[in-house]
Amino acid sequence: MTNLADNKAKIKEIFTSIQGEGLYIGVKQLFIRFCACNLHCNYCDTDYMPQSLSDNASFLDVTPNELIDYIMTNSDIENLHSVSLTGGEPLIWSDFLREFMPKFKAKYYLETNATIVHNIDDVIQNVDIISADIKLPSCSGVKNSFELHDAFFKKINEIKIDCSIKKQFNCDNENIFAKVVFDEKINDNEIQKTIELAKKYYFDIILQPKMIDDKPSVSSDFIIKIFEKFNKLYMHTRLIPQMHKFINIE
């Protein structure tokens, strides 16, 4: 447990924009982008890691109270749908979030790579929506991703079973979904493993073709072919590209 006097997080940026991915595409959110990630995916397009985490000039290094003050002073928080905790990987900063989230009352949207279970219990009870990733080894380069994801979703499922320990998180499974970025290397084994996870833990699958700048890295025909493979075996599948890249917003 982090000493509260030293409970700081390194935050790359804070901004208000439109959600461009997943089931809540198009809503206005306050994005809090945390530094650092436990994975190094091949397709990652986010500058979440300053050249040196000791270089305070390139990011905020704040306590929960300092972050609240910064948001209230510098951010447009009118008419927000929710606050997106993104990164990097925000669950690396679970001690910070445990203190921050109850103090800054909001609807929370957690964007996570779904591989970290450490200290998640006290964070999840203040989360309203989980936007998880499933990292296909063929696209992400993360070799043991399915084992990590299974542990993550199992932990979330255990928390959801005992609804009495949650304050805001919906006990049904409508507020969790998994994004799957794919390219031409996707294979049938990965499709099967992804569907097995979704059926086991009851979440929607959101297919996202890997983007190169503002264009998909694969053809429309290939995208539809992959969608049909998923949808034939699991009807809770949706094809939703990264819309913010098409309309060039942050």
Render each residue's pLDDT in the chain as its tens digit; 250 residues.
Answer: 555 568 999 999 999 999 999 999 999 999 999 999 988 888 776 666 655 455 555 789 999 999 999 999 999 999 999 999 999 999 999 999 999 999 999 999 999 999 999 888 879 889 999 999 999 999 999 999 999 999 999 999 888 766 545 444 455 544 899 999 999 999 999 999 999 999 999 999 999 999 888 888 999 999 999 999 999 999 999 999 987 565 656 5
Q: What is the pLDDT of residue 5?
A: 62
In angstroms, the Cα distances linking 107 to 29, 53, 129, 168 are 10, 29, 8, 9
Interstrand relation of 204-209 and 237-239 (parallel, antiparallel or unpaired) = parallel
Give the whole-angstrom CA distance, residue 179 versus residue 161.
23
Q: Strands across the sheet with 9-18, in order?
A: 60-62, 9-18, 28-34, 82-86, 108-112, 129-134, 176-182, 204-209, 237-239
End-to-end CA gap in the chain: 34
Q: What is the pLDDT of residue 197?
A: 97
Question: Dihedrals φ, ψ of 71, to 5°?
Answer: -60, -45
Domain ranges of the chain: 4-175
Q: What is the pLDDT of residue 81?
A: 97
Q: Is the dihedral of CA 82, 210, 238, 189 positive or negative?
A: negative
Q: What is the pLDDT of residue 54?
A: 52
Q: What is the pLDDT of residue 230?
A: 98
* Superfamily of domain 4-175, CATH level 4: Aldolase class I (3.20.20.70)
Identify the residue whose tokens are 């049938």. 188
